[in-house]
Amino acid sequence: MGAEEEFLLVDPVSRTLRADAEKVVAEAAGELGGRVGPELTRYQVETRTDPHTSLADLAGQIRATRRTLARAAARRGVRIVSSGTPVTAPPGPPPLTDDPRYARSAALFRALDDEQIACACHIHVGLPDLATALGVSNHLRPWIPALIALSANSPFWAGRDTGYASWRTTTWGRWPVAGPPPYFESAAHFEDLVGGFLGTGAIMDPGGLYWDVRPSHHLPTLEFRAADATGTADDTVLIAGLVRALAATALRAVEANEPAPRPAPELLRAACWRAARDGLAGELVDPVTGRLTPALPYVDGLLAHVGPALGQGGDAALVHGHWAHLRRHGGRADAQRAAHRRRGNPDDVVDHLIGLTDPTGLSDGP
């Protein structure tokens, strides 16, 4: 498994976004090499881990990478923030990274790119072939709402509380191929769908499949994309451990020819919306039964579902420990709101996020 994390760049004094991605990437590349790069806008940078079989080893690299990136950003006079959306954003379209693909995206999708200053946490799990990956995806679909709620970390947009725990999930839902993936009957079914999307211009290439779970177009992995950029490294480790355990549990079901649940697509989409709105503070819709359940015990049920896989992978202690902390203190969207309530000042939310994201103490100045 491996993780990709996306970060925003902010000014430590004004707390506004800074379009310094090129400088920060160049600064960090001396230590991180190809594991750091640009994203769609010049306000964002992305880091990538190596593939790991040990969750503890992955956790160590995630923490070290965040420290390295934070120091590189500080040397360029900016700070890194891990949040699904910026607390505040300048008006108008964001400055796009100078890349032919991004220019083509802006030409094809137009104003959809204008509010894509959005950051996610992507987890890759290695699987042997496309058919297996699609079978695992089918079994993962009902758990997408729980994982959205668990990772929700984007309540603010343009200086105001949107009322959603994950506004990033809502903005991504506007793309033509986004949200929960369909149930795939076969690899041929998947290829036919991709061909149709390409033929109609709904995607530029397979990299434009923005489903919450998708086969990677360039790696032998299944990629989970539903999580907001996480507040802390521990949050990313929790998501990675759960995703790997879900994939391992699903893989056993695929190998045993067990049928995957087939919730109605409309109900699954509604369940994802509800999870994005309320996060861990509300109720989740079980997309199979249609019943509402308080989010915390629902996630407890997710951990019970993957318990054998967590034990077999040696990940149980890490995952249960990080979940116990999050369960006790509340979700990251609630923490952002708590920071805002102190004075009603968005700057306090930015400072809170800098402190969570940057474990080096470089953010103590503002």
Mean pLDDT calculated for residue range 207-213: 96
Sequence letter at residue 224 = F
Give one word for 312, left, alpha or beta, with left for phi > 0 and alpha for psi -120 to 50. Answer: alpha
Backbone angles phi, psi at 234, to 5 degrees: -60, -35
Which pLDDT score is estimated for 218?
A: 86
Total domains present in the chain: 1
Structure tokens at 152: 């929700």
The Cβ of residue 183 has, within 10 Å, a number of other Cβ atoms equal to 16
CA-based max dimension of the chain: 57
What pLDDT sits at residue 361? 65
Mean pLDDT of 53-64: 97
Q: Tens of pLDDT along 261-306?
A: 999 999 999 999 999 999 999 999 999 999 999 999 999 999 999 9
CA 199 to chain centre: 28
Give the C-alpha separation, 7 to 251, whole Å.
32
Dump the DSSP string for 99-135: -HHHHHHHHHHGGGGGG----EEEEEEE-S-HHHHHH
136 forms beta bridges with none
Q: Which residues are registered as beta bridge partners of 156?
A: 161
Rounded average pLDDT over 79-100: 93
Q: What is the pLDDT of residues 322-334, one digit of tens each?
A: 999 999 999 999 9
CATH number at residue 29: 3.30.590.20
Buried b (16+ CB within 10 A) or exposed e, 283-318: bbbbbeeeeeeebbebbeebbebbeebbeebebbeb
Mean pLDDT, residues 312-328 = 97
Give the separation between CA 15 and CA 288, rounded to whole angstroms: 43
Query: How would residue 365 be classed by pLDDT, with cut points 50, 70 and 90?
Result: very low
Calpha distance 139→359 (Å, rounded): 36
Closest CA to 314 of 3, 56, 49, 52: 56
What pLDDT is recorded for position 362?
57
Q: Could you give the CA distance from residue 151 to residue 171 in angstroms, rounded to a whole number?
A: 16
Residue type, 236: T
Q: Over the stretch 120-133, which tens digit does the pLDDT of each residue have?
A: 999 999 999 999 99
pLDDT of residue 111: 87
| CB of 183 closer than 8 Å to CB of 260 | yes
Q: For position 102, what pLDDT does the model report?
A: 85
pTM, 2 dp: 0.96
Q: Which domain holds residue 322?
A: 2-364
